[in-house]
C-alpha cells in the first residue's frame, strides 16, 4: 500500500504528469483507501477506479485508458519507482521516434542491476523449449537460438528496437 503511494508521489513530482488514473482490480486490504489518502495531498488530480472483481490486467488497463484523452500514456505497476524527469525523457524519445507505437524502459532491480525480461525477444517454440529444457546449460543443442532474455547483454547507448517489452 505504501509502495503504491510512493509511486504516486514520484509521478506527481514529475512536471510532465497531467493526471493519474489508478485502477484497483479488487485488491485486498486497504490499498484503495491508502491510495486515496496519499493522493489527496498531491498537486496532480488522481482518479481511483475500484473494480468489484479482478478483471485482469488488460481489461484494467483498457478501463483506465478509456478515461484519458492525451497523446502519451504511461502504464506502470505500483511497485515501481520513477526517477525525477523520467517522463520528460520518455516523451522526448516518443516525439523523436514518431513511428514508434510504444516504449519500454530499462527496468532495474533495487540493487541497480537490469531486471530479467525488461528487454527480450518474442518467445517462439524453439526459444521456449531451449530455455525450459536448459539446453544451453547442458551443451546439448547446436545452433542456439537468440536468447529470449536480453538482460546481461550490453545496454544500448540510447533508444533501440527490441521485439518485445515487458512491465516485468
Provide the mean pLDDT of the chain: 85
Same domain, 21 and 45: yes
Mean pLDDT of 82-89: 88
Give the pLDDT confidence of 20-60 residue by residue, as tens digits. 999 999 988 888 888 889 899 999 999 999 999 999 999 99
Owner of C-alpha cell 541497480: 112
The pLDDT of residue 132 is 80
Please say whether the dihedral angle defined by the alpha carbons of residues 116, 90, 40 and 56, taken in this order, is positive or negative: negative
Domain that holds residue 74: 2-96
Q: What is the DSSP letter of 97?
A: -
Q: Which three cell numbers stand for residue 140?
A: 546439448
Residue ending a domain, among 96, 125, 141, is 96
Q: Tell me the pTM.
A: 0.77
Q: Which residues pair with residue 20 across a beta bridge? A: 46
Amino acid at each position: 500500500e505504501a509502495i503504491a503511494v510512493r509511486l504516486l508521489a514520484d509521478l506527481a513530482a514529475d512536471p510532465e504528469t497531467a493526471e493519474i488514473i489508478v485502477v484497483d482490480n479488487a485488491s485486498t486490504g486497504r490499498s484503495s483507501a491508502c491510495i486515496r489518502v496519499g493522493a489527496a495531498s498531491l498537486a496532480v488530480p488522481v482518479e481511483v477506479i475500484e473494480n468489484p472483481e479482478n478483471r485482469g490486467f488488460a481489461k484494467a488497463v483498457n478501463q483506465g485508458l478509456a478515461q484519458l484523452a492525451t497523446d502519451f500514456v504511461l502504464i506502470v505497476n505500483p511497485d515501481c519507482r520513477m526517477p525525477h524527469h523520467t517522463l520528460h525523457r520518455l516523451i522526448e524519445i516518443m516525439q523523436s521516434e514518431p513511428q514508434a507505437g510504444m516504449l519500454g524502459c530499462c527496468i532495474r532491480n533495487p540493487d541497480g542491476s537490469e531486471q530479467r525480461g525488461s528487454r527480450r525477444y518474442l518467445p517462439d517454440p524453439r526459444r521456449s523449449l531451449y530455455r525450459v529444457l536448459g539446453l544451453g546449460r547442458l551443451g546439448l543443442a547446436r545452433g542456439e537460438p537468440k536468447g529470449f532474455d536480453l538482460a546481461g547483454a550490453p545496454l544500448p547507448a540510447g533508444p533501440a528496437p527490441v521485439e518485445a517489452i515487458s512491465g516485468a
